[in-house]
Amino acid sequence: MTRAWAVRSLALAVSCLAVLALAQQAAPPQSAPQDDNLLRAMRDELERSKQISLPNIPPPYFVQYLVDQDDTFIVSASLGGVLERRHELVRRPHISVRVGDPHFDNSNYAGGGFGTRYELGRFPLEDSYDVLRRFFWLETDSAYKSAVEALSRKRAALRNVTQNDRLDDFAPAQPVDHVRPLPSLKIDEDLWARQVRAWSALFAQYPEIRYSEVELESSAGGFTMVNSEGSRVREPEEVHLLRVRASAQAPDGMTVRDALTFHALDVMHLPSDAEVQRGIRQLAEHLVALSKAPPGEIYNGPVLFEGVAGPQILAEVLGRNLALPRPPVREGGRGGGFPQGELEGLIGARVLPDSFDVLDDPTQTEWRGRSLFGHYQVDREGVLPLPVKVVEKGALKGYFLTRQPVRGYDRSNGRARLPGNFGASTAAMSNLFFHSSDTIPAADLKKKLIEICQARGKPYGIIIRKMDFPSTASIEEARRMLAASQGRAVSAPVLAYKVFPDGREELVRALRFRALNTRSLKDILAAGDDSTVFEFMENAAPFALVGGAGYTAEAAVIAPSVLIDDLELHPAEEGQPRLPLVSPPDLAAR
């Protein structure tokens, strides 16, 4: 930043603060019977922000206030001992100020300028009108100054660049008035702490397992949003996650791991004690077997994704690629250096066999008597979502869209479910349904796999019954996988089996996919007549890495088992940790 620009920025800061402060003194708060103090403060400060008019400085054309609220209880335990227990209420504000106009504004610029630079500390937890107004005022002022500076820098970055078919920066949307009460967290913390401790103690029966943990995370809250177009939204959210994870070491030092997550939209639908115990024992037995299994070998051929692995691979490879990233403008005016979506520009192209239709439907609340995890009524930009057929007869028909236009689309379809970068929201799936009109009995898929392998002279085929998605890998391991694949990696198989001509199966470990992408799904040879519901917390991180991002959105994928032709698997190439020098304590002998 030059000294002249720094002086102008300082003058602008002083001017903005002075005008806003005077306006705050002159404008007494107005109340509405249907508004609580948070909504009143947001609405009143927003109305004042809409009137900003300063000499030689562009006024905001759009302002949005959004506050996320989470009342959360977390308890985790290992081998019968509590690791963590806390209950906290958190509020996180998101202040968006746009200057310019919808065709060209301060967003989508990698040089900064969207959001705030002035940190006020934690947002108020109590609904004190005066305190809230002051926070919104200061955050708005900071965001406005950043926006004005960014608009100027963005224009300068594009000054000597010819742009063909330039996209708008912001799409219009109808105002929405959708206010529902936020739930309070009601859970017997002592009861669940005892239960989590007891479940974690089950792993003491498996000395081969090196690390284990059981964690309950219960959260109730949602978000409150108002914007200068007249939208007023309060969308509740309640989610309960019971996550079990464990790891062991193979004789060559390789770490093997597995995880199990139970999802519920209210505490009454968390699993029973018997169901959790059964899941833990099954996970532990699989993990012990996995630690003793031989490493897999290089393989090219058909792969059967059976049971939950079917929706897992379809969610990761197709579902996540239906949200298109838009590269931001960088210094010099170019947008390079950011990955392009695998499905960008492929509308009308075949992405699945022509027997497949895919529908994303956030309005559907249940399926076959089961509550659907991905249901919601309004997105984070105040857009009401509608069902979207994204694939019809195998051809790509649509994407998950937000209010940031992408090539070929200038309207949102209500999929802004996560905060994004450079002023945009991140699109994500809701309830994603895969349907094939041409299926075979799921039990016959293994037979078909064997027949294909025999016809091609292959000694065995591969069945995958579980993927590491969402991944419980460490951040370091995830980085190594991404580096090895130039950023296009697919999560690793957890339960992979060699299947021999006589039907015999052999568990193998340490396999990774190579060059598995959306193009591979055109080679689906067969789909089962089964449908498995797979639920997960989408966070837009690679592999949906657990803990890889601060925000999550509930998603459900309903899909069959699928047999895919000609996939490539190879042994893991990353280095392995050394085995312990000291033997573990004999916990079972206590």
pLDDT in tens, 371-419: 999 999 999 999 999 999 999 999 999 999 999 999 999 999 999 999 9
Q: Identify the band that residue 7 occupies on the pLDDT scale cut at 50, 70 and 90.
A: very low
With beta carbons less than 8 A apart as the criterion, state whether 435 and 120 touch.
no
Mean pLDDT across 133-159 = 93
- The predicted pLDDT at position 26 comes to 36
pLDDT at 29 exceeding the cut of 50: no
**Angle between helices 37-49 and 129-157 in degrees, nearest 10:** 40
Distance, CA of 494 to CA of 396 (rounded, Å): 30
Q: Identify the band that residue 119 occupies on the pLDDT scale cut at 50, 70 and 90.
A: low
DSSP class of 354: T
- The predicted pLDDT at position 590 comes to 57
Q: Identify the band that residue 14 occupies on the pLDDT scale cut at 50, 70 and 90.
A: very low
Ranges of each domain in the chain: 3-68+89-179, 299-325+342-571
pLDDT averaged over every residue in the chain: 90
- Percentage of residues in the chain having pLDDT higher than 90: 79
Between 480 and 105, name the one with better pLDDT.
105
Distance, CA of 173 to CA of 384 (rounded, Å): 10
Q: String of b and e for 128-162 (b: at least 16 CB within 10 Å)?
A: eeeebbbbbbbbbbbbbbbbbbbbbbbeebbeeee
pLDDT digits (tens, 9 = 90+) for 218-249: 999 999 999 999 999 999 999 999 999 999 99
Distance, CA of 155 to CA of 109 (rounded, Å): 10
Helix, strand, or coil (residue 376): coil
Q: Is the pTM of this model over 0.85?
A: yes
Q: Identify the band that residue 488 occupies on the pLDDT scale cut at 50, 70 and 90.
A: confident
Between 119 and 47, name the one with better pLDDT.
47
- The predicted pLDDT at position 30 comes to 37
- Dihedral of alpha carbons 267, 272, 275, 281, sign: positive
Mean pLDDT across 540-568 = 95
- The predicted pLDDT at position 2 comes to 36
- Percentage of residues in the chain having pLDDT higher than 70: 89
